[in-house]
Amino acid sequence: MGKRKKESAKKLKEARKKVSFAVLRNNPTSPRKMRLVADMVRGMEVMRALDVLKYNSREASGKVEKLLRSAIANWEQKNEGETPEESGLYIKEIKVDEGRMLKRLRPAPQGRAHRIRKRSNHVTLVLGSTTDNNING
């Protein structure tokens, strides 16, 4: 590995240590349904987002709420002695990617078959702090 590439890799590694995030993989919900919930809380303050997710009737909101609690726990582990309310913690980035797709066959009339696609998704949630100015997103 070249010197320049090694230095940039070190910078990325150090920047990643400062960021708190949580990842949910192979969630058996279609990405479209999950994106509706993700768009609802993107950019929100953490405590307000927890309230919104708690009282939302969608099934995906329960999974995003659990993921958000995990990201908060990761943040608290890095920043001991601070609370999310004091530091102005918010959802900096939340993205929903397509996961693997299970392909099944359903019988159809006259000896035919229709393909059923059971979709899944991956959710990545990154937290940011309004008091922490040295992280560039």
Domains detected in the chain: 21-129 (3.90.470.10)
Structure confidence at residue 137 (pLDDT): 44
Structure confidence at residue 135 (pLDDT): 47
Mean pLDDT of 37-50: 96
Mean pLDDT of 39-49: 96
* Strand intervals (E) in 1-136: 20-27, 89-98, 102-107, 113-118, 121-129
Chain segment 57-79, per-residue pLDDT in tens: 999 999 999 999 999 999 999 88
Task: Give me the residues paired with residue 117 across strands.
Answer: 103
pTM: 0.84
Structure confidence at residue 132 (pLDDT): 67
Nearest to 24 by CA among 66, 54, 84, 59: 66
* Rounded Cα–Cα distance for residues 127 and 110 (Å): 53
List of residues 6+ apart from 90 with CB closer than 8 A = 43, 44, 45, 46, 127, 128, 129, 130
Q: Percent of the chain beyond pLDDT 90?
A: 78
Chain segment 115-133, per-residue pLDDT in tens: 999 999 999 999 998 876 5
Chain segment 75-101, per-residue pLDDT in tens: 999 888 788 888 899 999 999 999 999
Question: Tokens for 60?
Answer: 């995906």
Who wins on pLDDT, 85 or 23?
Answer: 23
